[in-house]
Every structure is written in C-alpha cells, then in structure tokens.
Amino acid sequence: MAKRVYEVWEGNNKFFFGGRLIFGPDAMSLLVTLLLIIVPVVIFCVFVARHLRHAFSPYNAGFAILVVAIVFTLIVLILLFVTSARDPGIFPRNSNPLEEEFQYGSSSAAVAEGRQTEVVVLVNGNPVPVKYCHTCMFHRPPRCSHCRICDNCVERFDHHCGWVGQCIGLRNYRYFFMLISSATLLCLYVFSMSALYIKVLMDNYNGTVWKAMQKSPPSVILMAYCFIFLWFVGGLTGYHLYLIATNQTTHENCRSRAANRSNIYDRGCRSNFIEIFCTKTKPSRNNFRALAQEEVCSVR
C-alpha cells in the first residue's frame, strides 16, 4: 500500500490528523506554554475579574473586564496554534541531487554529476554566496537555513522556538510576532486589572495597600507573575520590532554581529513592515498528504 509523504518524512517533525498539522519534535513543550497562559488567566477570572463585575455601577461595566480577559486569551491561544501547527516554510529535500538546478531571481546555476559548484547570487546588487546543504542535498537560497532540531531547511529561517515547538520561518513569522505581542498585552492587562482590584479593596475597606494585599493574595501573585513574564515577552516583542524594522531574522542578526557584516535586505522601515504584515503568505512547498512517489515527482 502506497504511503503518504508525512508517513515517510525524513525530518524530525511530528504530524497529526493525517498530515494536516505539522509540529516540531519538541511539540510536547506546547503543554508547558499552555499551562503558563491558561492557569494565570483562570486564577485572574476566578479571584479578580469575578469580584470586579459589580465594581463599576450602575452599568456593571466590570463585566467587560472578565469578557476582555477571556477574548484576549482565546486570541493568544489561536495564534499559538497557528504558529506551531503549520509548515514554517520547509524546503523539500532534493530527490535527485545529481540533477540539481538552482534558481534565485535572475541568477541560476547547475550542478552536474553531484559536483557542488560554488553559487553566488545577487541580492539588491550585493553578491551572496549560497551554501550547499549536505542533508537536504541542494544549494540553500539566501535567508534559508537548516534547523538542526527539526532537520529541515527552512525559508527565511528565524529560529527554532521551543515554547511553540516549531521552527519560525517565512510562513509563520507573522503569527509568531502577533503571538508574543498579544501575550505582552495580556500580561499588561492582567497586571493592571489586578492592581485595580487592590485599589478597589483599599477604597472599600479604607485600608492600606498592605491590608488590601492580604485580602487578595491571588492579585499579588498575578502581579508578580506578570511583572516577571513582561520582561521576557515584552523584551522579545521589542527585539522583533527592531528585526522587522531593519528586515533581519534572529539568525541573521546574530551572525552579522559576530561577523560585523552589513544588512543587505533592509529596504526601509515602512517597506520592511509591509513585507512582513501586508504580503500574501506563500503556499507550502510540501503536500504532506500526497502519495510519496507523487510528491517526489512534483517538488523537483
């Protein structure tokens, strides 16, 4: 019986629902990420937002605090799923390395009889040497890199994120940034609403901050938790804003600083943001549900 591509896949990915969902080999780390998101929000809804429902009479505007927390959390969870469960931009392995033909823009080169000839392409008028991947058996296009964890070459490779259990590349970077920025806003929201509840308790009991904190230990725990995680997700959001503004990936930024190289992909801040957020996501190069022999014929 013929097997499908996901059943004979040579990378380290994990597939679910018949190849419809693709994760990295560390997909189980998603459970930790889910707990870090869901548990604090449940505590917030039960011990903070529930008590603020009637704090803003006569319109019971406090109900909005609970609704916003739930909606915000759902958005974060959806973005987490979209980021981690899709093809990040994997280049399929070369099924016939003896007849490889490399093409990028207006540049092209052929490799005959397995000879790994040096390939140089022009990017914005700058010559860029293209490396040969001995695992995937082809010359990697510019901005493509091989992930050692997933064992795949990924287009516009940024990094492998253990928190989402997936590579971050061309096809999911946009959603990754939306995920971390939304998580930052959720942390700010929970922190500020917990602080508001402490203020409400102070007003209701004519007490000090210390007495209000004693009446609501969960609020104090949530504020401390959000403060700590804001340094992580907030700093990560700021760093990736810088990368987007300068049209760099994490991989490129680390390598360029080490080698003191200039950034040849920067097209201006506005154009760089448009490239990330306003361009159509490229279709996957892989049909994981196709029959294996059929896929081999179609990808090369």
Find the range with the poorest average confidence among 119-123, 136-140, 228-232. Answer: 119-123
Q: What residues are annotated to the active site?
A: 161
- Mean pLDDT computed over 31-51: 94
In the structure encoding, which two tokens stand for residue 51, read together?
């008590």
For 87, other C-beta atoms within 10 Å of its C-beta total 22
Q: Is the dihedral of CA 173, 176, 177, 178 positive or negative?
A: positive
Q: Are 250 and 241 in contact (CB under 8 A)?
A: no
Contact 281, 171 (CB under 8 A): yes
**Rounded Cα gap, residues 290 and 300, in angstroms:** 15
Does the pLDDT of residue 287 top 80, yes or no?
yes
Q: What is the pLDDT, as a whole number, of residue 284?
A: 94
Maximum mean pLDDT: which of 108-117, 230-239, 254-263, 283-292: 230-239
Q: Mean pLDDT in the chain?
A: 87
User: What is the model's pLDDT at position 110?
Assistant: 46
Average pLDDT of the segment spanning 250-257: 84
Are 1 and 292 contacting, i.e. CB atoms less than 8 angstroms apart?
A: no
| pLDDT at position 243 over 80 | yes
pLDDT digit string, tens, across residues 178-229: 999 999 999 999 999 999 999 988 887 777 888 888 888 999 999 999 999 9
